[in-house]
Structure 1
Amino acid sequence: MDIEWILAYLMLGAVVGFMAGLLGIGGGGIMVPILTALFAAQGVAQEHLVHMALGTSMASIVVTAYSSLRAHHRHQAVLWPVVWKITPSILIGTLLATWVAALLPTTVLGIFFSCFMAYVALQMILNIKPKPSRQLPGTVGISLAGLSIGGISAMVAIGGGSLTVAFLTWCNVRIQQAIGTSAAVGMPIALAGSIGYMINGWGASNTPDYSVGYVYFPAVILISVVSFFTAPVGASLAHKLPVGTLKKVFAGLLILLSLKMLQTIFMG
């Protein structure tokens, strides 16, 4: 790999880790559009661009998810009974979604990703939050929620944080515990998504060297190493900077990156 690509992946890891720590969001919204552009510049086949970006992004989230899980567990903010109930359906939903994603053309995946990120950005700008209106459902209800969270997360390569927190707060779970439980749920989503994209991309032609299915491991390693160190920096600044304003700026960035991704797909 040329030095310019190494530097690009290191810089991406630094930004992703910092923003994850500062705003408590996963890196998929940033990583997928940028990885799509980087892979296109590196000559990855057009039909695999978004698949490679999604799979590589999912695998890169694993380290951050594990670090976040440990931190919230130390603060006793994880509702482990909820985690054990929702994880099986999360795994099923995530693995099924990677299989569906592998069947879809790059353009369809890109449009779905961009539309979902526009929805997330709008939520941030308007500060839309579900009002607590009920208690946690039983096993069936939690399982259905897990299928949905896992499925959408795999299709857009996010750790599921925004979806899980919204679901739990809607069920009257305190925000601190909702965030901590969401962090714990992010780990199986990232692992299942990574495995799913590796399995469903197995045998795909014209993928970069050192890839396993739709996961490009040189990028995963470089992004993960740096994000592991920059995430705590972002977290330490979360209480010192105007996070509300930063979220609106980040929402605008998400929209611009999604538009750039569509440009890369349709115009090269």
Structure 2
Amino acid sequence: MASVATVLPFVIALALTGCVSGFLAGLLGVGGGIVVVPVLYIVLAALNVDADLIPYIAVGTSLATIIPTSFQSIRAHRARGAVDGALLKWWGPFVALGVMLGIAIANIADGEVLTLTFGVVALLVAAHMLLTPEEAHLAAKLPGRALQSVLATLIGTISTLMGIGGGTLTVPTLSLCNYPVRRAVGTASVIGLIIALPGALGFVLNGWGEPDLPPFSLGYVNGAGFILIAATSMLFAPLGARTAHTIDPKWLRRLFGLFLGLTSAKMLATAFLG
């Protein structure tokens, strides 16, 4: 049975994780997962959680925290007509297929695979944010359905391995195909839920019965982390959003790219150097 001296710092650290991730998510306009995962790496390491388990717990818990925020985001975007139902009918099943592939890969792969995946993809997204003009497009319109199905499957797989929702990969992908940004963000909120629900459940099952998990864990999803991070991030996200309105959007984009670049460097160093 864990002592109060062990549990209390853990609870406080998780609540602070939600505060930081919520503020940064609101400030930078991104899904919380891209912030929650690296912060959880740091927090779990500081709390002396088994290093081999940290990648799985960080990713699984992050996916769980995306679920309530996705519902909140979907409701807001649907009210503004920013969700593309036709696109979701085609993309949804392939995103779900990608999630299943991600869960299967995570079940057989070492934790370094999850860390390396996060580091590499975060580096690519950071490069896109820092080096690509906001109005740049690779194509005049979305590709044919065959290629769309491949893109949707990859988004589901990679997002599951990273512990992120739909926005980080879906919005840049759609935007590069000359898709309206606001509609991309609204549609990505639904894709985030398609990723997070089965993804979190998969990490619960993958980690069920695993010894040496931190307190309040259901498999690789930490229950305390889910509740505290979700609650505090929802409280602090509006503060970050209000702060964002005082900063030039161009600098916000650069700030996000810089944040992801630094996060990527930390993850890649962890994957290669331990």
Normalised TM-score (structure 2): 0.87
CA distance in 1, matches of 2:181, 2:112: 36
* 1:95-110 map, 5 Å: 95-110=100-115
CA distance in 2, matches of 1:136, 1:254: 26
Aligned in 2, Cα 1:99/1:22: closer, same or farther, shift over 3 Å? same
Residue 167 (structure 1) aligns with: 173
Given the alignment, which residue of 29, 44, 51 partners 1:46? 51
Q: CA deviation at 1:128?
A: 4.9
Amino acid at match of 2:117: F
* Letter paired with 2:94: S
Superposed, which structure 2 residues align to 1:192-203 within 5 Å?
A: 192-203=198-209
Q: 2:163 aligns with which of 157, 168, 171?
A: 157
Q: Is the Cα contact below 8 Å between 1:36 and 1:261 reproduced in 2? A: no
Distance 1:216 1:259, change over 3 A: same
Quote the Cα distance in structure 1 between the aligned partners of 2:209 and 2:149.
32
TM-score (norm 1): 0.89
- Please give the residue correspondences for 1:65-144 in structure 2 after superposition, counting only pairs within 5 Å: 65-128=70-133, 131=137, 133-137=139-143, 139-144=145-150
Q: Deviations over 1:181-205 (max 9, x none)?
A: 1122111111121112112222322
Q: Is the CA contact 2:26–2:240 (under 8 Å) kept in the aligned structure 1?
A: yes
The answer to whether residue 1 in structure 2 is matched with residue 3 in structure 1 is no
What do residues 115-149 of structure 1 show as CA deviations (whole Å, max 9, x unaligned)? 22122222222235551624345554432221111
Instruction: After TM superposition, give the deviation of residue 55 of structure 1 in Å.
Output: 0.6
Q: Unpaired segments of 5 or more residues in structure 1?
A: none
C-alpha distance 266-149 of structure 1, shift in aligned 2 (>3 A): closer
Aligned position for 1:24: 29
CA contact (8 A) 2:166 2:190 kept: no
Q: RMSD over aligned Cα, in angstroms?
A: 2.3
Residues in 2 aligned to 1:37 and 1:263: alpha-carbon distance in whole angstroms? 13
Question: What per-residue deviation string (whole Å, max 9, x for no partner) do you get for residues 147-176 of structure 1?
Answer: 111011011111121321123223432111
CA–CA distance in structure 1, aligned partners of residues 273 and 177 of structure 2: 44
Of stretches 76-85 and 170-179 in structure 1, the one that deviates more from structure 2 is: 170-179
Q: Give the total of aligned pairs.
A: 268
CA drift at 1:17: 1.6
Deviations 1:60-102 (A, max 9, x none): 1212222111111111111112122211111110121022022
CA contact under 8 A between 1:33 and 1:258: conserved in structure 2? no
In structure 2, the residue corresponding to 1:149 is in which secondary structure? Answer: helix
